[in-house]
Amino acid sequence: MNRREAARRMYNAALAKVASMPEPKGQKFPNRSRVRIADDLGSAMSHFQGGVNATVKYTYDHAYGGGDVKSYCLDIDGYGEVSWYREHQLTAIIPEAEGD
């Protein structure tokens, strides 16, 4: 098996885990919740999108284990899936305020 196939299998196993297991304790933003990504993500993440809305897919711990409930995979509006945003870079969106 090549590296690409091994990575695909690991990713698919992670998605199956997310679908079948409850969210880990300590996860601040539940899966499928809406969040706003901070405008300023710092220089280390300047290549990541900021100042946009997204939907939480899962935390690193939920998919891969290891205890990290502060790193999130997001589905960014109009862009797609991106990992890993840190909890402090996200703010919950109040449903009525999203259209503002």
Separation between Cα atoms, residue 100 and residue 98, nearest integer Å: 5
pTM for the full predicted model: 0.89
Q: Name the DSSP letter for residue 29.
A: S
100 pLDDT above the threshold of 60: no
CATH class for domain 3-97? mainly beta
Q: Where are the domains of the chain?
A: 3-97
What's the mean pLDDT in 35-61? 96
pLDDT attached to residue 96: 66
Q: Which residue has the higher pLDDT, 97 or 21?
A: 21
User: What is the mean pLDDT of the segment spanning 37-43?
Assistant: 95
**89, burial (CB in 10 Å: exposed 0-12, middle 13-18, buried 19+):** buried
Task: Give the residue-averaged pLDDT of 40-69.
Answer: 96
pLDDT band for 97, please (50, 70, 90 cuts). low
pLDDT at 57: 98
